[in-house]
Amino acid sequence: MDVTYYFDPACPFTWRTSRWLVAVAPERDLTVRWRAFSLSILNGDDVPEQYRAPMAASSRALRLVEALRADGRDDQIAAFYATLGERTHDGGEVLSDRIVAEAAVAAGVEKAESILDDASWDDRVRESHETALTLAGPGIGSPVLQVAGAARGLHGPIISEVPGQDEALRIWDATASLITIESFFEVKRGRG
């Protein structure tokens, strides 16, 4: 089954959900496709000063995501994102242009700097972001999950930590079931 995961690499909740999805993929025979979701586009200029540099680095990273996707290189996107997340969300480094460039090198992306600096990819990022909003919006954020054959996607699932394998599979099975029901649109509880 094809699953498309729309993500912003700056979001820690999105990172945890991606690790959940990567863990369940082989167990449920899922092929994960990676697409851009831009929190910078979503929030516009309404970003506190301390988050502006990481959000700018994330925007550059999303250029690379869409360039690799256009070339059918989902495995390299996965490796690139894994390195970014391990260094930032797991390792505590602040997302920066340097980390983005180093993650691209670690993923084996040749001439990555030219893509990261190429603003023409911003149109593809915006297109991917708008697709995610159409699938699961309005009023949503990163991540968005789309399952092949489902008319709509969904925002999330949002998890506080990456669950163990049994719980991860139970979350997948419930999510996969709900996402295919057209009349379903929301399940939510507080973070308490």
Q: CATH code at 173? A: 3.40.30.10
pLDDT at 152: 93
Sign of CA dihedral 141, 23, 106, 98: positive
Kindly state whether residue 189 falls inside one of the protein's structural domains: no
Q: Is the separation of the CB atoms in 163 and 171 below 8 Å? A: yes
pLDDT at 19: 98
Kindly state whether residue 105 falls inside one of the protein's structural domains: yes
Kindly state whether residue 35 falls inside one of the protein's structural domains: yes
pLDDT at 46: 83
Q: What is the pTM of this model?
A: 0.96
Whose structure tokens read 């690790």? 19
State how many domains the chain has.
Answer: 1
Residue 13's domain spans which residues? 2-179
Parallel/antiparallel/unpaired status of strands 2-7 and 31-36? parallel
Kindly state whether residue 82 falls inside one of the protein's structural domains: yes
pLDDT at 187: 84
Q: 6: which strand partners?
A: 35, 144
Parallel/antiparallel/unpaired status of strands 31-36 and 144-147? unpaired
Which tokens go with 69? 């996707």
Which tokens go with 130? 């708008």
pLDDT lower than 70: segments of the chain: 192
Kindly state whether residue 38 falls inside one of the protein's structural domains: yes
pLDDT at 186: 85
Kindly state whether residue 187 falls inside one of the protein's structural domains: no
pLDDT at 188: 83
Q: 34: which strand partners?
A: 5
